[in-house]
Chain A
Amino acid sequence: MAILVEQVLNGINYGLLLFLIAAGLSLVFGVMHLINLAHGSLFMVGAFAAAAFAHITKNFLLSVICATLLAAAVGWLVERVIVRKLYARSHLDQVLATFGLILFANELLRWISGGVPQYVPSPGLFSGTVMLPGGIEYPAYRMMVTSIAAIAALAMWMVIAKTRAGMLVRASASNPTMVRHIGFDVGLISTLVFAVGAGLAGLAGALTGPLVSIEVGMGEQVLILSFVIVVIGGLGSIRGTFLAAMMVGLVDTLGRALMPLALSGIFSARAVSSFAPALSATLVYILMAVVLIMRPQGLFAR
């Protein structure tokens, strides 16, 4: 029982992190109809920036905030200089151009970092474990990441659903021409949305830093899963993205933990040990296939 609770916590943790990354992707598609392959690079920028700021400021929280702001600034710049020109082009052109951005970002960071994985210490206060009710020992850092990611997700929902700015974003998504005619600057809204998406990806990168190896190419690994989430949730729907991210996080984590147990009754130990990891790695894609068969437009597409 304890192990199941721990796994559900792990799944929620993973799902929230994935949501932070996928939310930007989904927003950018919803408002600007842009397929942005370089979104993973912004995640990488966040992680590298947090490592660099952590060495300068010696303060974890400050480094996360700085990294988030820097990723947002990079997003702003990239939107103004490059991405803006792509809105009117076909999806194939967008994919090609943003793939070029991935190559550029990877080479640039390899050049800056020397191609060596970076290290960022986990903050002293959160380097141990916490005791949860029921005698479950859980890493304090994961607990904190879950909290920050949950707060960020909640804040984003509040802004989009309850504020005037959020209303404008939703309006631009459903009818940009009308928004322009009422007298709002759709270009500015696009830049803002892109920068916020970049900032969220940067935040996810900064928070993931102490958990993984910060290296060139780390963005591409999360990019594929983010696209799976956006497709499952329905392109452009934030609510759908949130639910899909939680589903993917839980399915992936619980699959890895429970698949060997589920299969052990049926097959030999040797077969299970090589087959179960392969099967659990594909679970997420099976989930996507099932959703696409039932609802080709995704769970919550408009």
Chain B
Amino acid sequence: MRFTKTIGTALALMTSVAAAQAAPEKIKIGYISTLSGPAGSLGEEMLNAYRLGLEHTGGKLGGIPVELVTGDDQAKPQTAVQVARQMMERDKVSFFSGLLFSHVVDAVNAVVLPRDQIVVAPVGGSSETAGEKCNQNFFMVSWNTDTMFEAIGSQIAKSGIDKVAVIATNYQAGWDAAEGFKRGYGKAPTAEILVKLDQSDFGAELSQIRAADPKAVVVFLPGGSGIAFMRQFQQSGLQRTVVPYAATFQADETTFQALGTAAKGLMNAGPWSPYLDNPSNKRFVQAFREKYGRNPSILAAMSYDTVLLLDKAVSDAKGDVENPATFREALRRAKFPSIRGDIHFGNNHFPVQNFYLSKVADASGGGLHNELVGSIFEQRADAHQAKCTMKW
């Protein structure tokens, strides 16, 4: 009897020690992103929003002070892997966040996830990570790009447009976008044009589009290529008869400066708008505007929302972020006050959420803004969920 009591006391003592260890004094976030090179300004925008989020949570997650360890991946997978290893071994980070490009995400995942480290990425998902390669330690806060094109397809079908041209870059993400569009639209487009990566002259393609005589053109051309296309589209006179559609992250504050008036009238689909009516969003947009004098881009929004998710999950896990099982469960079920309103994770750890239609128009105070036009999807999951075998 005495013996069992002693054991009991010892166990109680041990668990209290374990509990004391569980809530660390400080959470270290390994934040990897593209902070230099042509896409460096996007990484910068996201980091600014991430810091704003941490400012709003008082520099804490779930009440525990945070140290942000940042690393530049230069959009190169091999650099990202080095940075990730260093953060695990030297900095002993609690979990990983940040991340921008899907090919970098894949590389980081390959070295980080098998060691039971959790990755909570704002953007950079792919149809593979949402489908057969889904992982219990990987969370995608924003979207899989093809769902936006599904939304565009569905919107175009709903408005009864019968002739559509699609132009996309000839690689995996471009094919995903074109497939997504077809899923939403329900049939093949009148013209489907694939172009090489980084193409800058679109004379031939615009003539093809003119010949197809569509009512809408759906565009997925990353980076400078998309900017070049929109400018030449504007000069071609096609914009009088053809309405351009794109994903919101290619038609927002990150591209307005380079596009100028060519952006006007661009329709876009995405899971967020600066004009969504909820307290979190109002607080975020107002604070961002005060700091940077313009609306946040959708990338900034996803970055900020990642902090809100982490704050709630760390709080639900009672600070026990070093225990992957506890932290994972908390992330999966976190009911956090998202700036997107109602969202939750699907079985593949990608969000189930609403999609909205926006239109680039003149802002009242000069410049451009993304006007909220309406809603396209309610509580929509991506199309790859079924291929993910994860159950929880």
- Give A residues with C-beta under 8 Å from B: 3, 6-7, 10-11, 13-14, 114-119, 121-122, 127-129, 137, 139-142, 210-218, 221, 253-254, 256-257, 260, 273-274, 276-278, 281
Could you tell me if B38 and A127 are in contact, using CB atoms closer than 8 angstroms? no
Could you tell me if B211 and A121 are in contact, using CB atoms closer than 8 angstroms? no
Could you tell me if A212 and B260 are in contact, using CB atoms closer than 8 angstroms? no
Which residues does chain B contribute within 8 Å of A122, judged by CB atoms? 231, 234-235
Could you tell me if A141 and B235 are in contact, using CB atoms closer than 8 angstroms? yes
Which residues does chain B contribute within 8 Å of A254, judged by CB atoms? 204
Interface centre among A3, A114, A273 (most CB of B within 10 A): A273
- Give B residues with C-beta under 8 Å from A: 36-38, 40-41, 170, 175, 192-196, 198, 200-201, 203-205, 207-208, 210-211, 223-225, 227-228, 231-232, 234-237, 255, 257-261
Q: Is the contact region of chain A dominated by helix, strand, or loop, or is it mixed?
A: helix
Additional 18 contacts, C-beta under 8 A, given A115-B38, A212-B201, A273-B194:
A6-B207, A13-B203, A115-B37, A115-B41, A121-B260, A139-B237, A142-B203, A210-B235, A211-B201, A212-B227, A212-B231, A218-B200, A253-B201, A253-B203, A256-B204, A274-B194, A276-B194, A281-B196
A119-B258, A215-B224, A257-B208 given; A274·B175 CB < 8 A:
yes
Please report the C-alpha to C-alpha distance between residue A215 and residue B227 in the assembled complex, in whole angstroms: 11
Please report the C-alpha to C-alpha distance between residue A212 and residue B40 in the assembled complex, in whole angstroms: 19
- The residue in chain A whose Cβ has the minimal distance to the Cβ of B230 is A213
User: Top 5 A-B pairs ranked by shortest CB distance?
Assistant: A10-B203, A213-B224, A117-B258, A213-B227, A129-B237
Please report the C-alpha to C-alpha distance between residue A286 and residue B195 in the assembled complex, in whole angstroms: 18
Nearest CB of A to B266, in Å: 15
Please report the C-alpha to C-alpha distance between residue A285 and residue B12 in the assembled complex, in whole angstroms: 75
A/B interface sample: 14 pairs, CB < 8 A: A7-B204, A116-B257, A117-B224, A118-B258, A121-B260, A142-B203, A211-B228, A212-B200, A212-B224, A213-B228, A216-B38, A218-B224, A253-B203, A277-B195
Q: Is the contact region of chain B dominated by helix, strand, or loop, or is it mixed?
A: helix
Which residues does chain B contribute within 8 Å of A137, judged by CB atoms? 210, 237
Could you tell me if B211 and A3 are in contact, using CB atoms closer than 8 angstroms? yes
Please report the C-alpha to C-alpha distance between residue A11 and residue B200 in the assembled complex, in whole angstroms: 14
Nearest CB of B to A2, in Å: 8
- The residue in chain B whose Cβ has the minimal distance to the Cβ of A14 is B201
B170's contact among A6, A115, A127, A277, by CB below 8 Å, is which? A277
Nearest CB of B to A128, in Å: 6
Please report the C-alpha to C-alpha distance between residue A210 and residue B223 in the assembled complex, in whole angstroms: 16
Could you tell me if A10 and B204 are in contact, using CB atoms closer than 8 angstroms? yes
- The residue in chain B whose Cβ has the minimal distance to the Cβ of A119 is B260
- The residue in chain A whose Cβ has the minimal distance to the Cβ of B175 is A274
A3-B207, A128-B237 given; A211·B227 CB < 8 A:
no
- The residue in chain B whose Cβ has the minimal distance to the Cβ of A126 is B235
Could you tell me if B194 and A277 are in contact, using CB atoms closer than 8 angstroms? yes
Could you tell me if B204 and A119 are in contact, using CB atoms closer than 8 angstroms? no
A3-B211, A221-B200, A273-B194 given; A211·B258 CB < 8 A:
no
Interface centre among B207, B225, B257 (most CB of A within 10 A): B207
Which residues does chain A contribute within 8 Å of B231, judged by CB atoms? 122, 210-213
Interface centre among A213, A215, A257 (most CB of B within 10 A): A213
Could you tell me if B257 and A274 are in contact, using CB atoms closer than 8 angstroms? no
Interface centre among A127, A212, A218, A274 (most CB of B within 10 A): A212
Nearest CB of B to A127, in Å: 6
Nearest CB of B to A101, in Å: 19
A121-B260, A278-B170 given; A129·B236 CB < 8 A:
yes
Please report the C-alpha to C-alpha distance between residue A217 and residue B195 in the assembled complex, in whole angstroms: 20
Which residues does chain A contribute within 8 Å of B236, judged by CB atoms? 129, 139
Which residues does chain A contribute within 8 Å of B203, judged by CB atoms? 7, 10-11, 13-14, 142, 253
Could you tell me if B259 and A119 are in contact, using CB atoms closer than 8 angstroms? yes
A6-B207, A14-B203, A115-B40 given; A127·B198 CB < 8 A:
no
Which residues does chain B contribute within 8 Å of A141, judged by CB atoms? 235
Please report the C-alpha to C-alpha distance between residue A253 and residue B211 in the assembled complex, in whole angstroms: 16
Nearest CB of A to B326, in Å: 40
Which residues does chain A contribute within 8 Å of B261, judged by CB atoms? 121
Interface centre among A13, A116, A142 (most CB of B within 10 A): A116
A7-B207, A253-B204 given; A139·B194 CB < 8 A:
no
Nearest CB of A to B252, in Å: 14
Could you tell me if A116 and B258 are in contact, using CB atoms closer than 8 angstroms? yes
Nearest CB of A to B143, in Å: 24
Which residues does chain A contribute within 8 Å of B37, judged by CB atoms? 115
- The residue in chain A whose Cβ has the minimal distance to the Cβ of B255 is A117
Nearest CB of A to B150, in Å: 19
Nearest CB of A to B234, in Å: 8
A256's contact among B205, B211, B232, B259, by CB below 8 Å, is which? B205
Which residues does chain B contribute within 8 Å of A210, judged by CB atoms? 231, 235
Nearest CB of B to A104, in Å: 16
Could you tell me if A211 and B194 are in contact, using CB atoms closer than 8 angstroms? no
Please report the C-alpha to C-alpha distance between residue A215 and residue B225 in the assembled complex, in whole angstroms: 11
Could you tell me if A142 and B235 are in contact, using CB atoms closer than 8 angstroms? yes
Which residues does chain A contribute within 8 Å of B211, judged by CB atoms? 3
Nearest CB of A to B188, in Å: 8
Could you tell me if A119 and B210 are in contact, using CB atoms closer than 8 angstroms? no
Nearest CB of A to B5, in Å: 68
Nearest CB of A to B313, in Å: 33
A257's contact among B175, B207, B259, by CB below 8 Å, is which? B207
Please report the C-alpha to C-alpha distance between residue A142 and residue B195 in the assembled complex, in whole angstroms: 20
